[in-house]
Amino acid sequence: MKFTLNYLMIKRLGELIGLEFNDISPMNEIAPDTEELIKGLPADILSETDEILKTQGMTDGELKPKKPISAFIKALFAPERCLRAELKEESGSSDVYFIPFDGAWLMMNAKHGELTAAGPVSYEIAKRYIKAALSSSLENGVLSVQYRDEKCKRSVTVTNAEEGYAFFGSLFDKADGKERVYVHSFAKTEENKKHIAKMLTGDVGFELPEGEKEQQEKPSAKRVVRGICIALLVNICAAVIVAVLKAVL
């Protein structure tokens, strides 16, 4: 199946069902964008949205969402897991989500105020997408991948810096409320590309292969870390990176 909903339709369907999104949901990014969108639209936009929902057969005469679309909105607002991949390149950017749905996964592309969902797909497809996005980001771009579930929130940003493949990762454990930060510059090898891909997909934790561990112990390692932090400052929250820089150096 494949369908597209604009952000206003998603917001309205959630209201009609009486839903609030959890901290795992893609709505954490979509909702703020929706509110910004509404500011520039006429006051009667929601009534127009109601009419569109009825016309397209998503709601009945009493504005009650029909079962298929209701199931999707519930999965969107309260997923147990969510994988997000945001790729920024000179040619443009893409923002893709994967959430569980009906025993499989849905792939959703968020762009220009619309969410296009396609599926079902397997989690293996999600991994392949991330690996392909990684290859693009290591050519000329920045890839941010985030995995969220009930226990943790794992975030990674990767780009191609002069010193190597710049890697910035954070892991927030909801149980103890602690966040662990990882910063490293990988040598530009095919083996390291594969290892970074495994960290992005969660196949391995934030850990270094043996060759990188040996390099990190050398005196030049601190200079490399300084370089990676400077590179990432351009694309990531400056306050976070400066804090990491102080902790490492």
Q: Render pLDDT for 173-187 as a digit per residue (tens, 0 to 9).
A: 999 999 999 999 899
Name which of 224, 195, 39 is nearest 113 in CA terms. 39
What pLDDT, in 10s, does the model give residues 134-172? Answer: 999 998 899 999 999 999 999 999 999 887 899 999 999
Which of 120, 139, 162 finishes a domain? Answer: 120
Whether the per-residue pLDDT at 226 is higher than 60: the answer is no
In-domain check, residue 139: no
Written as six digits, the tokens of 16 are: 């009609």
Answer whether residue 128 is part of any domain: no
pLDDT top residue among 108 and 90 = 108
pLDDT band at 211; cut points 50, 70, 90: confident
28 contacts: CB under 8 Å, gap ≥ 6: 21
Q: Of 46-50, 210-214, 240-244, where does the model show the most confidence?
A: 46-50
Q: CA-to-CA distance for 161 and 158, rounded, in angstroms?
A: 9
CB atoms within 10 A of CB 63: 15
Residue 198: exposure state from Cβ atoms within 10 A (0-12, 13-18, ≥19) = middle
Residues 181 and 72 in one domain: no
* Enclosing domain of residue 75: 1-120
Number of domains, the chain: 2
pLDDT the model gives residue 133: 94
Last residue of a domain, one of 80, 102, 120: 120
Query: pLDDT band for position 43 (50/70/90)?
Result: confident
Q: In this structure, is residue 240 part of a structural domain?
A: yes
Q: What integer pLDDT is reported at residue 237 of this predicted model?
A: 41
Average pLDDT, the chain: 87
Task: Give the model's pLDDT for residue 247.
Answer: 43
Q: Do 98 and 179 fall into the same domain? A: no
What's the half-sphere exposure (Cβ side, CA atoms, 13 Å) at 117? 20
173, 235: one domain: yes
What is the distance between the alpha carbons of residues 170 and 135, in angstroms, rounded to a whole number?
Answer: 21
Question: According to the model, what pLDDT value does residue 216 have?
Answer: 62
Task: Please state the pTM of the whole predicted model.
Answer: 0.84
Q: How many CB atoms lie within 10 A of CB 116?
A: 14
Question: What tens digit of pLDDT does each residue of 64-74 get?
Answer: 999 999 999 99
Answer yes or no: is 130 within a domain. Answer: no
Domain assignment present for 106: yes
